[in-house]
Amino acid sequence: MKQGVIFDLDGVLISTDEMHYKAWKSIADELNIPFGIKENNLLRGVSRMASLDIILGLGNISLPDEEKEALAERKNRRYVELLQTLTPSSVSNEVRDTLKELNDRGIKTAVGSSSKNAKLILKLTDLEKYFDAVSDGTNITHSKPDPEVFLKGAEFLGLSPGQCAVTEDACAGIDAANAGGFFSIGIGDAAGYEMSDASISSIRELLDII
């Protein structure tokens, strides 16, 4: 029985992964780099700059750092514009009920996201109240598959990795959870990833396996 659950945000609690895709696609289109759903899956859980490096790599393009900074900033402006459409009803009842059930059971909950926009998303969707801690892109120096974001999350909860499960839609996130010694649960794109300790097709299923 786990005492804590750490949730990835984009693509697990909310479909902001589609907004990341739209924003990156517009940048890739400008650069004439073919970019579809398959390529987008490579960016799940990966930091903003590392995502840009992957996209530029797909197009065999190398750019000076200042241009890369400008592109990443432009992508973020588009992404944040898309985020403004989020409201509490952007979160499914199933996600809300699952988080509430964990709270009621006294299981500690944290967000573990590489995103620097995580707190904004939690605020816009009124999800903050379900979490005891938030570990995000603002408190880490290494992004997934490095375990830092989850290790910090567990530390904020006052728990050890062995006491926590991590729920992730990114293969890089499952690798990060495993590297940190967490029980890794794959959902969405990471459901069925052979490195996951468990796979679920729907978030409420985690209540039966932790």
Catalytic residues: 8, 10
**Shortest distance in whole angstroms from residue 3 CB to ligand G6P:** 25
The residues near 31 (Cβ < 8 Å, ≥ 6 apart) are: 55, 56, 59, 61
CA dist., res. 127 & res. 13, Å (int): 9
Q: Shortest approach of ligand G6P to residue 148 CB, angstroms?
A: 13
* The one-letter amino acid at 57: G
22 or 69, CB closer to Mg ion? 22
Shortest CB 64 distance to ligand G6P, Å: 21
Q: Which is nearer to ligand G6P, 164 or 171 (CB)?
A: 171
Alpha-carbon distance 55 to 10, whole Å? 19
Tokens for 115?
Answer: 């995103």
- CB atoms near residue 9 (< 10 Å): 24
Q: Out of 98, 109, 115, 199, point to the residue binding ligand G6P (CB under 6 A).
A: 115
Which C-beta is closer to ligand G6P: that of 157 or that of 170? 170
Is the Cβ–Cβ distance between 12 and 191 less than 8 Å?
no
Between residue 166 and residue 205, which ones bind Mg ion under the rule CB under 5 A? 169-170
Interacting residue ranges for Mg ion, rule: CB under 5 A: 8, 10-11, 169-170
